[in-house]
Amino acid sequence: MQLARVIGTVVATVKNESLEGRKLLVVQTLNKDLEPSGNPMVAVDSVGAGVGELVLWCRGKEASFPFKREDTPTDCTIIAIVDSNAHVTR
């Protein structure tokens, strides 16, 4: 799991059938000081996150765990919304 900030949304006119009705969001990975690190990525939202929120995301086969794994083609999924950054280790 890694911290990220949701920085935008994605609109897809055509996508895999199993992604119908699921939000695609652009996330920017953050370092320990909550500063941008690396390139933004597109993630499937499994928790109802919105632009500007601090979130946790995962990659790899774990990214499909919130969904039917065999049916949802994802390699990057938002799995939690962070309510407060007061406890983020710096």
Q: Tell me the per-residue pLDDT of 20-65, one tens digit each, with 9 for 90 and over.
A: 788 999 999 999 889 999 999 999 998 999 999 999 998 765 555 5
- Does pTM surpass 0.85? no
Residue 60 counted as domain residue: yes
Q: Please give the average per-residue pLDDT across 54-78, as a whole number.
A: 71
The whole domain housing 29 covers 2-81
Q: Please give the average per-residue pLDDT across 2-27, as a whole number.
A: 89
**CB of 34 within 8 A of CB of 19?**
no
Residue 31 counted as domain residue: yes
Question: Would you call 89 helix, strand, or coil by DSSP?
Answer: coil
Residue 89 counted as domain residue: no
Q: What is the dihedral of CA 79, 28, 34, 46, to 10 degrees?
A: -10
Domain tally for the chain? 1
Question: Would you call 28 helix, strand, or coil by DSSP?
Answer: strand
Q: What is the CATH number of the domain that holds 27?
A: 2.40.50.220
- Give the separation between CA 82 and CA 89, rounded to whole angstroms: 13
Residue 90 counted as domain residue: no
